[in-house]
Amino acid sequence: MGPMAPRMPYRFSKLAGRRAVALQFATVAVLAGTSAYAETATDRPVPKEELKAKITYCENCHGASAQGFHGYYPIPRLAGQQPDYIKNQLEAFVEHRRTNNIMFSVAHVLRPAMLDALTESFQNLNPKPLATPAAQDLIAAGKKLYDEGIANTDVPPCAGCHGPDAKGNGQFPRLAGQLSDYIVDKLTNWAKERGQNPGNPDASAIMAPIAHSLNQQQIKAVAVYLNHVE
């Protein structure tokens, strides 16, 4: 047998045990405190100045009063938009079901209370649409397509989901007053941006066959019509 390890004196052994127990309690207390702080920070009400600053931040891209912006890429109008739709799409950005690196960075840091406050604020905005001049016959063709769809195709009346006034409902977005070039871009490039995870679709999946069934003239017509709806 090898030499036996020296036995720790009783008083030191007892003291070490007490320190270990104290350390365990301290660790649990810190973790519990951290969890409680995180939960409180997540659920705390949003101060008015913090909300105002976040809205101003969003308006840097989405335009004054969130009316949209005609930039290098058209940036959508959020004014009057359905809160559930915005939340659904922000979640899609975070989960990479909808691709947009800028919106991923914006969305993944929003806590629930801020998200609720923001979407409610956007819904209550109602600026005049940034309407693009268009021929009346094109607007009329777009209205007919919106109200009636296209017979014997995968294009039902848009009003069936988005409402007769195009103001949306729940996860179906408001289209009234939306920038026409934004609508054209989204419908033309639907499969390149949305539905990137077919195993985890959202309400917008219903639009895939519709977008694919529209030709460019039809897309332009419905986009121009919706741009002129207030």
How far, CA to CA in Å, does 187 sit from each of 4, 12, 46, 223? 80, 75, 35, 9
Asked whether residue 152 carries a pLDDT value surpassing 70, the answer given is yes
CATH assignment of the domain containing 150: 1.10.760.10
What mean pLDDT comes out for the span 120-145?
Answer: 95
Residue 148 inside a domain? The answer is yes
Percentage, residues of the chain above pLDDT 70: 81
Percentage, residues of the chain above pLDDT 90: 67
Residue 2 inside a domain? The answer is no
What mean pLDDT comes out for the span 67-72?
Answer: 93
Residues 224, 132 contacting (CB under 8 angstroms): yes
Q: Which of 18-32, 71-85, 165-179 has the lowest mean pLDDT?
A: 18-32
Mean of per-residue pLDDT scores for the chain: 85
Indicate the pLDDT class of residue 42, thresholds 50, 70 and 90.
low
Condensed to tens digits (0 to 9), the pLDDT of residues 8-27 reads: 444 434 444 454 444 444 44
Six-digit token string for 63:
């335009």
Six-digit token string for 210:
């519709």
Gyration radius from the chain CA atoms: 27
Is 214 exposed, middle or buried (CB count within 10 Å of its CB: 0-12, 13-18, 19+)? buried
pLDDT for residue 41: 54
Q: Could you tell me which residue, 197 or 101, shows the higher pLDDT?
A: 101
Residue 119 inside a domain? The answer is yes
Report the distance separating Cα 46 and Cα 65, nearest Å. 20
Residue 25 inside a domain? The answer is no
Structural domain harbouring 90: 48-227
How far, CA to CA in Å, does 151 sit from each of 5, 99, 156, 215, 218? 91, 32, 8, 14, 13
pLDDT for residue 205: 86
pLDDT for residue 35: 40
Q: Letter for the amino acid at 83?
A: P
Residue 209 inside a domain? The answer is yes
Residue 14 inside a domain? The answer is no
Residue 167 inside a domain? The answer is yes
Residue 202 inside a domain? The answer is yes
Asked whether residue 176 carries a pLDDT value surpassing 50, the answer given is yes
Which residue shows structure tokens 């296209």?
Answer: 150
Residues 6+ apart with CB under 8 A from 68: 62, 74, 75, 76, 77, 78, 79, 130, 178, 179, 182
Q: Please state the domain count of the chain.
A: 1
pLDDT for residue 191: 85
Q: Could you tell me which residue, 10 or 95, shows the higher pLDDT?
A: 95
Indicate the pLDDT class of residue 174, thresholds 50, 70 and 90.
very high
